[in-house]
């Protein structure tokens, strides 16, 4: 009988402990003497006008640069961003004069609280500027990393960039030596040069959080979820997803073993990080050629059909607008159609990442996308347009409430819309997919692609900030070790070559040097399926969840409107209640329901596997031991007992 060494239990205990430790009252957070309701009202009115104006100016300057990348436009953008930082700092100081926990009006109190508990304006000017400078330096360094090609390593062809070169090679190369080379280049050239700056950043970020009243910057990051059992909730949902993840993992590992052989993958071991089609091994859809269940069966791709029917980018945007108006949501304004950027201009340099913009003046909303007539771009348009719908729906809220109910809502909701659009039934309904949508093979292929994107992503989305919380809390001494500890524990991923504390592999992911939160992607993943399931339930869909299409459902539209109009004015659990489902917190059930048919299929595929999940051995953990500890030196690691526990489990098991 397979015995799984890597259980989630030690970690769950960690979560539970920290959950209690972090339960905090507002009393610890900065507050002043002023209880005057009228003055609070006046301050917030002025703040609202000022912040909206500045947001308009910054967004305009950012738009000008993003759609016309000249030095002049960059300078203007930076000027506006500095004015905004200054405004935020001044506003924070004014807000901190109020005794906000005692303000009787709940809406005013909440706005003050949001204002005071976010950002780093509590720092003295010098440090405030220093951390901004550090972050922008790290972002710049990340942007300018160039790595050497595999072919002529000796002759120094060293001009490859992350996007598109690294991505292209990781996605398409099936030569494990080349993949390893690119993986190593990228990780060696991002982390080590930034390590000193990153350590200083950790220090100042913690100082800022302490000055606001938090224990450390990790607590401040979690506080935004306004939920004392937040980490417990996260751990519980992961425990529910883990069995599905392990079945997927086991099946994928078998296919990779067949492809690359025992020199690259052990048949019961963790998977090395370089062969999953993604430089971070965070989603695996690019190796679908290796793992697709029925390779002879058609896959869901309507690009040819779009071309055959003569679609243009503009018509794709109109189609997406019609999807939202069919739900009873708002049509887009003339300004939107006039000002958006739909295609890559030929006469100037632009940032092509698709994005949705709110200019904070209740008039101007725009999309920016270098659209090509492909299915992927059609899906992306629907996603981005969901953000615009959200902006439109909460536009009447005060500035501080014009955001998702928690940091996961915007992405979760937009992706819930995509579940209804990238869907054989919907594409059939809009005349783009005329083949039989009903074959078992087509559905398994489809669910496999979705699982490679969503289920494979879950543990990564969860662990990035878990790592950051640990670094903020425990310090930087074994941070690379801790990164791989978590990746092995949650994802079953190991580095393809030895790493040590001279490396800093988490920095290979842009969100780390760029100071961008990550837990929101895990929350969004759960919300995506929760929202989708609730909308499908409301319109009476009873067949398999992945075949549900909310197109033309006014019931679904009404629920969406309620959620979006609330913005961030309420606790997100009160907003979730508008879904009218039984659960009122985060839940993995809808995700599991969506993938249920695939889980059954995977179990059949894996029936002869000796090991569901991964059997981590000393040779795996030896790949990333900190230099000072070796394996037996775990006791020296006293400030952070968690890695010791895990290593101890290994030693016991492997030497039995
Ligand atoms: C791009 O920006 C420059 C200023 O740097 C401006 O002179 C030029 O007209 C802009 N081009 C377009 C097409 O907007
Ligand atoms: C080496 O790789 C680079 C980038 O992939 C490519 O542009 C170049 O043509 C290659 N050179 C040879 C000799 O294959
Ligand atoms: C439907 O399938 C046939 C072959 O099975 C293919 O030639 C045709 O292009 C497909 N149509 C669409 C819309 O995908
Ligand atoms: C939902 O919330 C209500 C009120 O907060 C609570 O009483 C109830 O137990 C919750 N239900 C579930 C299933 O958690
Ligand atoms: Zn988005």
Residue 493 phi/psi, 5° resolution?
A: -110, 135
Question: So what's the pLDDT on residue 627?
Answer: 61
Run of H or E residues at 493: strand 493-494
The C-alpha atoms of residue 501 and residue 607 are separated, in whole angstroms, by 40
Contact 370, 344 (CB under 8 A): yes
Mean pLDDT (the chain, rounded): 90
Read off the pLDDT of each residue in 590-618 and give the average, rounded to a whole number: 96
- Ligand number with the minimum distance to the CA of 65: 1
The C-alpha atoms of residue 105 and residue 45 are separated, in whole angstroms, by 14
| Residue 555 C-beta-side C-alpha neighbours within 13 Å | 15
Distance 41 CA to ligand 5 centre (A): 33
Residue 470 has pLDDT above 90, yes or no: yes
Token duo for residue 472: 């903020």
The C-alpha atoms of residue 138 and residue 512 are separated, in whole angstroms, by 9
**Torsion sign across C-alpha atoms 395, 399, 401, 407:** positive
Question: So what's the pLDDT on residue 151?
Answer: 76
The catalytic position among 132, 167, 511, 571 is 511
Ligand 1 site, CB within 6 A: 68, 70, 72-73, 348
- Whose C-alpha lies nearest to ligand 1, atom 11? 68
Residue 375 has pLDDT above 80, yes or no: yes
Question: So what's the pLDDT on residue 314?
Answer: 96
pLDDT tens profile 169-205: 999 999 999 999 999 999 999 999 999 999 999 999 9
Angle at 413 between CA 515 and CA 595, to 5 degrees: 100
pLDDT tens profile 101-122: 999 899 999 999 999 999 999 9
Task: Specify the 3-state DSSP secondary structure of 268.
Answer: coil
Distance 67 CA to ligand 1 centre (A): 9
Contact 464, 511 (CB under 8 A): yes
Distance 562 CA to ligand 4 centre (A): 20
CB distance 153 to ligand 2 below 6 Å: no
Crossing angle of helices 106-117 and 71-95, in 10° steps, is 120
Residue 1 has pLDDT above 70, yes or no: no
382 has catalytic annotation: no
pLDDT tens profile 4-59: 333 333 333 333 333 333 335 677 899 999 999 999 999 999 999 999 999 999 99
656 vs 576 pLDDT, higher one: 576
Full DSSP string of 77-109: HHHHHHHHHHHHHHHHHHHTTB-GGG-S-HHHH
Instruction: Among 584, 585, 589, say which to mutate for ligand 4: greatest number of ligand atoms within 8 Å of CB.
Output: 584
For 152, residues 6+ apart whose C-beta sits below 8 A from its C-beta are none
Distance 180 CA to ligand 2 centre (A): 17
Question: So what's the pLDDT on residue 153?
Answer: 54
Instruction: Among 424, 428, 434, 445, say which to mutate for ligand 3: greatest number of ligand atoms within 8 Å of CB.
Output: 434
Task: Count CB-CB contacts under 10 A for residue 307.
Answer: 11
* β-bridge mates for residue 147, sequence order: 160
- Whose C-alpha lies nearest to ligand 1, atom 14? 68
Give the start-end residues of each E strand in 215-304: 271-272
Helices (H), 104-229: 106-117, 125-143, 167-172, 176-212, 217-223
The C-alpha atoms of residue 418 and residue 384 are separated, in whole angstroms, by 10
Taking alpha carbons only, the member of 492, 8, 11, 463 closest to residue 246 is 492
**Torsion sign across C-alpha atoms 531, 533, 536, 538:** negative
Question: So what's the pLDDT on residue 155?
Answer: 62
Ligand 4 site, CB within 6 A: 582-584
Residue 2 has pLDDT above 70, yes or no: no
- Whose C-alpha lies nearest to ligand 4, atom 9? 584
The catalytic position among 88, 227, 233, 384 is 384
Distance 573 CA to ligand 4 centre (A): 10
The C-alpha atoms of residue 374 and residue 386 are separated, in whole angstroms, by 19
CB distance 157 to ligand 2 below 6 Å: yes
For 277, residues 6+ apart whose C-beta sits below 8 A from its C-beta are 170, 171, 284, 285, 286, 287
172 has catalytic annotation: no
The C-alpha atoms of residue 569 and residue 406 are separated, in whole angstroms, by 10
Residue 641 has pLDDT above 80, yes or no: no
Token duo for residue 413: 């909701």
* Residues placed in the known binding site: 225, 383, 387, 411
Residue 644 has pLDDT above 90, yes or no: no
* Residues placed in the known binding site for chloride: 225
Distance 594 CA to ligand 3 centre (A): 26
The C-alpha atoms of residue 541 and residue 551 are separated, in whole angstroms, by 12
pLDDT tens profile 197-244: 999 999 999 999 999 999 999 999 999 999 888 999 999 999 999 999
Instruction: Among 149, 161, 171, 182, say which to mutate for ligand 2: greatest number of ligand atoms within 8 Å of CB.
Output: 149
Residue 646 has pLDDT above 80, yes or no: no
């Amino acid at each position: 009988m397979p015995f799984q060494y890597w259980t989630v239990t030690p970690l769950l205990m960690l979560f539970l402990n920290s959950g209690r430790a972090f339960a905090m009252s507002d009393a610890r957070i900065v507050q002043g003497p002023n209880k005057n309701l009228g003055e609070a009202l006046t301050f917030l009115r002025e703040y609202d006008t000022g912040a909206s104006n500045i947001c308009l100016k910054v967004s305009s300057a950012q738009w000008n640069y993003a759609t016309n990348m000249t030095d002049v436009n960059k300078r203007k953008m930076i000027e506006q961003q500095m004015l905004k930082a200054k405004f935020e700092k001044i506003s924070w100081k004014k807000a901190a004069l109020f005794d906000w926990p005692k303000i009787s009006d709940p809406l005013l109190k909440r706005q003050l609280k949001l204002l005071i508990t976010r950002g780093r304006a509590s720092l003295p000017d010098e440090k405030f500027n220093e951390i901004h400078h550090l972050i922008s330096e790290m972002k710049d360094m990340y942007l300018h990393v160039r790595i050497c090609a595999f072919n002529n390593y000796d002759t120094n062809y060293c001009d490859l960039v992350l996007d598109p070169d690294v991505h292209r090679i990781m996605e398409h190369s099936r030569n494990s030596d080349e993949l390893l080379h690119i993986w190593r280049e990228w990780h060696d050239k991002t982390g080590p040069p930034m390590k000193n700056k990153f350590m200083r950043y950790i220090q100042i970020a913690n100082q800022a959080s302490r000055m606001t009243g938090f224990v450390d910057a990790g607590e401040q990051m979690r506080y935004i979820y306004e939920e004392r059992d937040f980490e417990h909730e996260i751990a519980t949902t992961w425990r529910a997803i883990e069995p599905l993840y392990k079945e997927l993992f086991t099946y994928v590992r078998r296919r990779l073993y067949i492809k690359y052989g025992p020199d690259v993958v052990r048949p019961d071991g963790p998977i090395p990080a370089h062969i999953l089609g993604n430089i971070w091994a965070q989603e695996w859809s690019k190796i679908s050629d290796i793992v697709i269940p029925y390779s002879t069966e058609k896959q869901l791709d309507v690009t040819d059909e779009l071309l055959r029917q003569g679609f243009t980018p503009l018509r794709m945007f109109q189609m997406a607008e019609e999807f939202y108006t069919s739900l009873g949501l708002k049509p887009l304004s003339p300004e939107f159609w006039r000002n958006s950027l739909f295609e890559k201009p030929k006469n100037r340099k632009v940032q092509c990442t698709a994005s949705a913009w709110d200019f904070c003046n209740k008039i101007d909303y725009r999309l920016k996308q270098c659209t090509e007539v492909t299915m992927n771009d059609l899906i992306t348009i629907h996603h981005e347009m969901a953000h615009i719908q959200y902006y439109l729906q909460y536009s009447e809220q005060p500035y501080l409430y014009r955001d998702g109910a928690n940091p996961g809502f915007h992405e979760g909701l937009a992706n819930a819309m995509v579940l209804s659009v990238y869907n054989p039934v919907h594409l059939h309904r809009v005349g783009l997919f005329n083949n039989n949508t009903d074959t078992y093979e087509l559905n398994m292929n489809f669910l496999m692609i979705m699982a490679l994107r969503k289920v494979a992503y879950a543990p990564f989305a969860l662990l990035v900030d878990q790592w950051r919380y640990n670094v903020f809390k425990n310090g930087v001494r074994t941070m690379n070790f801790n990164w791989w500890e978590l990746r092995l524990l949650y994802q079953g991923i190991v580095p393809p070559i030895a790493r040590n504390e001279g490396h800093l592999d988490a920095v290979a992911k842009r969100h780390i040097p760029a100071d961008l939160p990550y837990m929101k992607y895990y929350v969004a993943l759960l919300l995506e399926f929760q929202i989708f399931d609730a909308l499908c339930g409301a319109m009476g869909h009873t067949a398999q969840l992945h075949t549900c299409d909310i197109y033309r459902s006014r019931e679904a539209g009404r629920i969406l409107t309620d959620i979006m109009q609330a913005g961030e004015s309420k606790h997100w659990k009160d907003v979730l209640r508008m879904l009218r489902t039984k659960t009122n917190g985060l839940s993995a059930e809808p995700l599991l329901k969506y993938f249920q048919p695939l889980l059954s299929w995977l179990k059949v595929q894996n029936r002869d596997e000796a090991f569901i999940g991964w059997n981590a051995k000393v040779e795996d953990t030896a790949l990333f031991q900190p230099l000072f500890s070796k394996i037996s030196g775990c006791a020296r690691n006293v400030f952070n007992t968690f890695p010791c526990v895990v290593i101890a489990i290994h030693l016991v098991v492997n030497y039995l």
